[in-house]
């Protein structure tokens, strides 16, 4: 039996620029953005209760974080039902480079506890074309 507590910090940003064209009650927008993701170090602490060991064993796992960035194309159509209310749809697609992971370590408080994972490096670096993101929304002007 075991108890687990884990923590990791994560930040996501998408600065973008749009060019707007208005045709009657429709507003068409096209542009681009730069998605940026940053993940901190992942830390997990396991507290093991086992009949094979007379005492509780605590294992601390740590894995380095990473980051990702890319380029996105953004298209949006907004229909103004009246000056204060609009319905809009947005599509976004692009490419993403990500580099997560790094040094991985397991430290226990008991030397007799078998370590199944020796300190090592676990890194995943990829270039991907994520699934396009499609959204629909309602806008209110106050």
Structure tokens at 86: 């609009």
Question: Is the distance from CB of 18 to CB of 67 less than 8 angstroms?
Answer: no
Residue whose token pair is 């599509």: 91
Dump pLDDT digits (tens) for 28-51: 999 999 999 998 888 887 776 666
Global pTM reads 0.64
Domain ranges of the chain: 2-140
pLDDT tens profile 100-118: 887 777 777 766 666 655 5
Between the alpha carbon of residue 131 and those of residues 69, 72, 96, the distances in Å are 15, 12, 11
């Amino acid at each position: 039996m075991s108890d687990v507590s884990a923590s990791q910090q994560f930040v996501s940003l998408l600065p973008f620029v749009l060019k707007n064209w208005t045709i009657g009650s429709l507003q068409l927008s096209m542009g681009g953005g730069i998605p940026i993701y940053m993940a901190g170090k992942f830390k997990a602490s396991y507290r093991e209760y086992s009949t094979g060991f007379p005492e509780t064993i605590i294992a601390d796992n740590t894995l380095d974080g990473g980051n990702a960035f890319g380029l996105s194309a953004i298209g949006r159509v907004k229909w103004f039902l009246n000056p204060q209310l609009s319905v809009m749809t947005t599509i976004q697609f692009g490419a993403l480079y990500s580099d997560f992971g790094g040094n991985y370590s397991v430290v226990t408080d008991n030397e007799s506890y078998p370590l199944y994972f020796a300190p090592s490096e676990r890194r995943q670096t990829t270039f991907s074309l994520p699934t396009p993101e499609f959204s629909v929304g309602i806008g209110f002007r106050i």
